[in-house]
Amino acid sequence: MINESALLESKTLRGSVLERTDVLDRVKALSLLPDGMHVTTAMVAAYFQVRVKAIRSLVMDHRAELEANGYHVLTGTELSAFKALSGIQSRTPSLALFSRRAVLNVAMLLRDSEVARQVRVYLLDMEYLARTQPVNNPVPTDTSSLDDRIDQRITHILGKTVVPMFNALIETSGEHRKELIALRTGVQRIERRLHQHHARLKRLEGVRDDRPAVGVMAAMDAMNGSAFERHIAKLLSRDGCTNVVVQGGHGDRGVDVIGLTADGRRLVVQCRYAPYLSISSPDIQKFIGSAKVLYSAEVALFVATCPFTPDALHLAAETGITAVHRGVLEEWSAGEPLKVLE
């Protein structure tokens, strides 16, 4: 079985598994730009929970390999056309984009990221299963049925056939007793390792509290600003809010959605569709004036598809603004109600 160190060091080994981009979403939902194909450097850093500087440094060291797998930088008219198509409002003279293959390539190069390590582990587990299947028994796309067959094979062949056979031979043999005991120990060791491998794969594939539902943010990142505001309004209605009105656009005075909570409190929401930016203190300051002064809101939500800076989070907490950042938004969209609305 290929080990993680070999994958980190060998370009050839990395190239042999680059088609398995589905493992990215199995470990953590990978949000894409509205074109449904690419992510920015900041989005890659957010996925792997590292600094943007770490991704840029990795690109400098492995640029040729990454470019071969879909990394490229847009400039000039190509950048203008992409901005118009995707709705990106970046003012930078260039924009680096990563394909899903390039993101998987990053996962196989990035050492100081727990998410990247999980991707590698999952990738190696799936590769191991593919390599150990009989030639006339292709690997099914349904990994759960594959796991069931592994369990059955382990239980029947090792547990009910091979080990009992060694037990019987050991009881009746004198001359080769030590050798048979050693062989039986080896078989039992293999059985334990296969069970451990299966348990690890189940752990990676299973639903975990810290792993959001696949596709939730990907679908949201494909929305435009108006669709995002309507999505937030639906979430509010789902959680018992009434008189919910979307008023985003010109003349909204800094508030996109208004309504009443289930217990009758005045509610206002600022929606910020910006997966490639961060919410800063000035953004919160503007919303405070609108929410508290113009609308006399009792519940004020600032909902964004991107992270909030530490200063912005601190200011929001001080002034009674509920910051619904990307992580909270993902959980809310997946069915977890916001506590402030209860």
Average pLDDT over the chain, rounded to whole?
77
Q: Is the pLDDT of residue 101 over 60?
A: yes
How many angstroms separate the Cα of 31 from the Cα of each of 94, 181, 222, 290?
21, 53, 9, 31
Quote the pLDDT of residue 106.
94
Quote the pLDDT of residue 326.
81
The token pair at 300 is: 């004020």
Quote the pLDDT of residue 138.
45
Beta bridge partners of 95: 74
Pair type for strands 266-272 and 299-304: parallel
323 contacts 291 by C-beta, under 8 angstroms: no
AA identity, residue 54: A
Quote the pLDDT of residue 295.
85
H-type alpha helices, the chain: 4-9, 11-16, 22-27, 41-48, 52-68, 76-86, 100-107, 114-132, 143-153, 163-172, 177-205, 216-221, 225-238, 281-288, 310-319, 326-333
| Tens digits of residue pLDDT in 298-317 | 999 999 888 888 888 999 99
Q: What is the CB-side half-sphere exposure of residue 199 using CA atoms within 13 A?
A: 6
Which segment of 98-102, 118-122, 243-247 scores lowest on mean pLDDT? 118-122
Q: Is the pLDDT of residue 214 over 60?
A: no
Quote the pLDDT of residue 308.
87
Q: Is the pLDDT of residue 156 over 60?
A: no
Strongest mean pLDDT among 6-20, 217-231, 283-297: 283-297
The token pair at 339 is: 């506590």
Cβ within 8 Å of residue 88, ≥6 positions away: 33, 82, 95, 276
Reported as a pLDDT band with limits 50, 70 and 90, residue 146 is: very low
Alpha-carbon distance of 6 to 124, in angstroms, equals 11
How many angstroms separate the Cα of 223 from the Cα of each of 24, 31, 34, 98, 231?
21, 12, 7, 20, 9
DSSP summary character for residue 297: -
How many angstroms separate the Cα of 183 from the Cα of each of 175, 263, 274?
14, 70, 61
Quote the pLDDT of residue 29.
80
279 contacts 309 by C-beta, under 8 angstroms: yes
What's the start-to-end Cα distance of the chain, in Å?
A: 51
Alpha-carbon distance of 41 to 63, in angstroms, equals 13
Task: Give the residue, 43 or 276, on which the prediction is more confident.
Answer: 43
Task: Give the residue, 314 or 121, on which the prediction is more confident.
Answer: 314
The token pair at 96 is: 């680096």
| Tens digits of residue pLDDT in 52-71 | 999 999 999 999 999 999 99
CA angle 107, 19, 23 (to 5 degrees): 50
AA identity, residue 84: A
DSSP summary character for residue 70: T
